[in-house]
Amino acid sequence: MKELRQAIEQQGIGIGKDIVKVDSFLNHRIDVKLATDMGQEIYRAFQGEAVDCILTVEASGIAVAITVAQAFGNIPVVFAKKSGHSNVGTDVYQANVYSFTHQQMNSICVSRSFLTEGMKVLIVDDFLANGEAIEGLLSICRQARSVPVGAAVCVEKGFQGGGKRLRASGLKVISLAVVDGIENGHIVLRKEE
């Protein structure tokens, strides 16, 4: 997606070999026009599908989940909570997710009330790196017997294995921009197909 690629090129910061920092428009400050446009773009990629609900994980995923849900005509968003600091109760589906950013294991959970059998779920997140967050959300869908129709992310780190593994499993995975690597602080974007 052109606007996202431009934002990454102009504002993104590459750190070391693998950290892509897009705090100025996605992860801390949010460019709301861009977020709204990304929601529309993800909608276009999945508009042939019946989608009942958007599933994401707090916190950075929420903004784009909202704009995707708006593009689908205001379907609900469910965001998984990171456990241990929420009053979500105990009647939950739960999965363990290793956070690449924070280098720690998090437990994420969704109340059993909000995902039901046969519900068609589109998973949305800001980043796809090793795929742990999306795997965790897929596990929660399986526990709920909901049907994941696919996953959509803003930025995929193509040099990490998550996207490849998820696609190999048969899941439809859409990313709006793919980072192929970081070279001397410069974020190298894959050419659009």
**Binding segment (CB under 8 A) for a second copy, from list 101-109, 120-128, 141-149, 175-183:** 101-109
Rounded CA separation 2/86 (Å): 37
81 binds a second copy (CB under 8 A): yes
Q: Do residues 74 and 91 make contact, with C-beta atoms less than 8 angstroms apart?
A: no
**Buried-state track 92-116, b at ≥16 Cβ within 10 A, e below 16:** bbebebeebeeeeebebbbbeebbe
In the complex, least distance from residue 154 CB atom to a second copy, rounded to whole angstroms: 14
Q: Output the six-digit token pair for 164.
A: 């490849």
**Binding segment (CB under 8 A) for a second copy, from list 42-50, 86-94, 116-124, 125-133:** 86-94
Q: Do residues 47 and 116 make contact, with C-beta atoms less than 8 angstroms apart?
A: no
> In terms of CB distance, is 37 or 135 closer to a second copy?
37
Alpha helical stretches, state H, 93-156: 132-144
Among 58, 105, 167, 192, binds a second copy (CB under 8 A): 58
Rounded CA separation 75/66 (Å): 9
Rounded CA separation 145/30 (Å): 33
Among 2, 33, 44, 164, binds a second copy (CB under 8 A): 33
> In terms of CB distance, is 35 or 189 closer to a second copy?
35
> In terms of CB distance, is 139 or 165 closer to a second copy?
139
Binding stretches for a second copy (CB under 8 A): 19, 21, 23-24, 28-33, 35-36, 58-59, 62-63, 66-67, 69-70, 74-79, 81, 85-88, 101-102, 104, 110-111, 113-114
